[in-house]
Amino acid sequence: MNPLNPLNTTRRQALVLGSSALAASALAQPAFREGFHYKRLPSRLPGTAGKIDVLEFFWYGCPHCYAFEPVLGPWIKQLPANVEFRHVHVFFRENTRGHQRLFYTLQAMAVEHQFRPAIFKAIHEQGNMLETPEAMVKLLKPLGLDEAKFSAAWKSFEPKSFSAARIDAANRLTAAYELDGVPAMGIGGLFLTSPGMAARGERMSEADSGRRCLQLAEQLIKQVPAA
C-alpha cells in the first residue's frame, strides 16, 4: 500500500472521522450499570394511576440542587404526557425543616414555581438563608407574595391540612427511596439515581453530571413497566 496515495489518505481520514464519531457516540450513550449508576428498589412503590412518577428530591439550601436547577428546568418541559413530575423537598436535619415548610406553604398557595428562582438565588448568591418566616416574607413580598395568605398558610399545619399532608408524604418518600443525599431522582417508584451516581467514576462539571443524570433518567423511564 502506497502511503502517499491520496485515496489511502482519504480512507485514513474516513477511519479517523469514523472512530471519532464512535467515541462521541460512546460518550453520548454511556453504559449505565445497576447498583453503580442507579439502584433498583426492592419493590415498586405505589404512584399516580396511569402515569410514571418522576421525582426530584431536593433542599433549597443545597448548593448541588442549585447547580442542578438550570439543567433540570428545560428537561421537565419536554417530558412525555405519561410522566408525572414532582419536586419533593426533603427533611434531613433541623436546618432543612423551615425550608421544607416554606416549599409546601408556597405549594399550598400554588405559587412555589413563581418564587423558586428567587429563593435559590437569595440563599446561594446573597447568603440569605431564609431561616424565619419573617425573612421569607421580606424577600418574597416585593416579588408579589400575598403576605396575609402566606401567613395563614404557614400557620395552618393541622394534621389534615394540605401542607402537613404533603410534608408527611415527602418524608415517607424520602424514607422509601432510602435517600442519603440530594439532589436525587426517583423514577417510577422503582429506581433511584442522582447526578453523583450517574457520573460515578468520572470527573465532570456539576452541569455535565446533571445532564448525565437526566440522560439516565430517560433510560430508566423507558424501563418502568406499565402500572
Q: What is the pLDDT of residues 106-129, one digit of tens each?
A: 999 999 999 999 999 999 999 999
pLDDT for the residue 18 = 43
Query: Which phi and psi angles does 41 have, rounded to 5°?
Result: -70, 155
Cell 502511503: give the residue: 3
Q: How far apart are the first and last CA of the chain?
A: 61
Reported as a single tens digit per residue, the pLDDT across 130-172 is 999 999 999 999 999 999 999 999 988 765 677 888 999 999 9
List beta partners, residue 52: 83
Omega before 80 within 30 of 0, i.e. cis: no
> Cβ distance 155 to 163 under 8 Å?
no
- Domain 33-108+157-223 in this protein, CATH class: alpha beta
State pTM to two decimals.
0.86
Can you give the residue ranges of every domain in the chain? 33-108+157-223
Strand 52-58 to 83-89 pairing: parallel
Mean pLDDT of the chain: 89
Reported as a single tens digit per residue, the pLDDT across 163-210 is 888 999 999 999 999 999 999 999 999 999 999 999 999 999 999 999
